[in-house]
A and B are shown apart, each in its own frame.
Chain A
Amino acid sequence: MGLELYLDLLSASCRAVYIFARKNSIPFDFQFVDLLKGHHHSKEYIAINPLKKLPSLKDGKFVLSESVAILFYLCRKYSTPSHWYPPDLHTRARVDEFMAWQHTAIQLPMTKILWIKMLIPMITGEEVPAEKTEQMLAEVKNSMQLFEEKFLQDKMFITGDHISLADLVALVEMMQPMGSQYNVFLCSSKIAEWRMRVELAIGSGLFWEAHDRLMKLAEWDCSTLEPMVKEKICELLQKFK
């Protein structure tokens, strides 16, 4: 039994892993774990990953969670081209630095936008208070600014002339609000150009295939939502009030 990747491409972290594996022709079994149906809480999946999170990697008996850990593992095990995670001490440190920073600075606010602008109103029928929405959008704008000033600067990609894991992770996360038709790339031409470069380096076909489920999220019939998942989302709404 070969490599298995447990994924739902609605999740940015899953898209990073999926795109990387496909781009590098790493053979794997795509194990779909439907977040919208709450399958990450199923007995079967909890047996794979008791933390109930996606993505997960299963390589024989070795099970690994956390997308950054999975990406580094795949890089090394499948000897992917070195530009993805450059061996040079300083360059590698920049990738590590970005991967650490992005958890709270990029991933969290980008995910929150999707929840606030679409998923919460869609599922609970209630809007999140405008003040909280404004706060969130301001935070995202600030993060994009910091991304441009500190990580991208005047370079083609985060580490310089070539795409790395940092660009891949950054982009898939910044795409998350697109699920609610909110485009963060409009804020800066430098970032918009970088976005295009990363898409082209990945290959537009693969890029948009990976984002298809996200882009179709608005069409989702949420009446099929698992009651337990719906309950958790209503709890989430309380935090935003």
Chain B
Amino acid sequence: MGLELYLDLLSQPCRAVYIFAKKNGIPFKLCTTEVLKGQLQTKEFSKINMLRKIPVLKDGDFILTESSAILIYLSSKYQTADHWYPSDLQARARVHEYLGWHADCIRGTFGVPLWTQVIAPLTGTHVPEEKVERNKTAMDRALQQLEDKFLGDKAFLIGQQMSLADLMAFEELMQPVAVGYDLFEGRPKLAAWCERVEAFLGSDLFQETHGPILNILEQAVNKKFPKPSPEVYPLILLRISRIP
């Protein structure tokens, strides 16, 4: 039994893992696990991951969670090209520096627009305007720091080539973009970086990975997106209540 990846392509870290595996020709079985259909809440899934989160990697008996850990594991095990997770001491330190900052300032923040624009309305909940505004301010601040401190005048976040850091960042930024936010207005450096990442992925892989998330807003507006399963409602409400 080979490598299994438990993913939902609506999720930013899942897309990062999916893209990395595909781009590097890593053979795996895609175990699609849909959050809004309550598939994280099943007994079977809790045996895979008691934290009830995705992405999850299962490699024989070895089970691993957390997208950054999964990406690093895959890069080591499958000896992917050095630029993804450079062996140079300082370059590698920069990847970890980005991942640390990402966990505090990007993760959790850039996912909010999908919750407020699509998921909350689907469950009949409304997110207060002041929370939406606070989130916009937080995203704004993070984007400025991403552009000034991490990207600067480089082609990619760590140097002149694509790395795990770029993948993690890009997928988070895709989330608000998918629900119609223009993150790059007045940010030409970030816009150019975004284009470079897309070009690196190639349009086939890009379309394949981003199909679900890019279609979600249109589907929701046309009432073609299925309502979340009842067992997920309390979790959705909890998540929404935690929006600062």
Contacts and interface: CB of A to CB of B under 8 A. Distances in A.
Interface in A42-94: 50-51, 62, 64-70, 72-73, 76-77, 89-90, 92-94
Interface stretch (A26-34, A95-103, A201-209, A215-223): A95-103
B104 A103 contact: yes
- Range of interface residues on B (Cβ < 8 Å): 20 to 34
A73 B149 contact: no
A64 B101 contact: no
Contact of A51 (B62, B67, B76, B145): B145
Given A66-B96, A97-B65, A150-B51, A51 B89 contact: no
Contact of A97 (B64, B93, B104): B64
A146 interface: yes
Contacts of B47: none
A64 B93 CA distance: 8
B148 A50 contact: yes
Contacts of A97: 64-66, 69
B169 to A, nearest CB: 15
Contacts, number: 80
Contacts of A232: none
Nearest to B95: A69
Contacts of A104: 103, 107-108
Given A68-B100, A89-B76, A96 B93 contact: no
Nearest to A108: B104
For the residues of A in contact with B, the DSSP-based class is helix
A149 B49 CA distance: 11
Contacts of A96: 66, 68-69, 72-73
A73 B92 CA distance: 8
Contacts of B108: 104
A52 to B, nearest CB: 10
22 contacts: A51-B101, A51-B149, A64-B93, A64-B97, A65-B97, A65-B101, A66-B101, A68-B100, A70-B93, A73-B89, A89-B77, A92-B72, A96-B66, A96-B72, A97-B64, A99-B69, A100-B67, A101-B51, A103-B107, A104-B103, A146-B51, A149-B50
Contacts of B96: 66, 68-69, 72-73
B244 A100 contact: no
B99 interface: yes
Given A51-B101, A94-B64, A97-B69, 5 more contacts: A69-B94, A93-B72, A93-B73, A96-B72, A149-B50
- Range of interface residues on A (Cβ < 8 Å): 20 to 34
Interface in B44-81: 50-51, 62, 64-69, 72-73, 76-77
Contacts of B51: 101, 146, 150
Contacts of B244: 239
B90 interface: yes
B77 to A, nearest CB: 6
Contact of A100 (B50, B76, B97, B103): B103
Nearest to A57: B93
B66 A62 contact: no
Most buried by A among B62, B69, B76: B69
Contacts of A50: 148-149
A225 B100 CA distance: 29
B102 to A, nearest CB: 9
Q: Which 7 residue pairs are nearest across A and B when measured between Cβ atoms?
A: A66-B100, A69-B96, A100-B66, A96-B69, A103-B103, A97-B69, A69-B97
Most buried by A among B67, B68, B94, B96: B96
A150 B47 CA distance: 12
Contacts of A51: 101, 145, 149
A93 B93 contact: no
A92 B68 CA distance: 12
A98 to B, nearest CB: 8
B84 to A, nearest CB: 15
B172 to A, nearest CB: 14
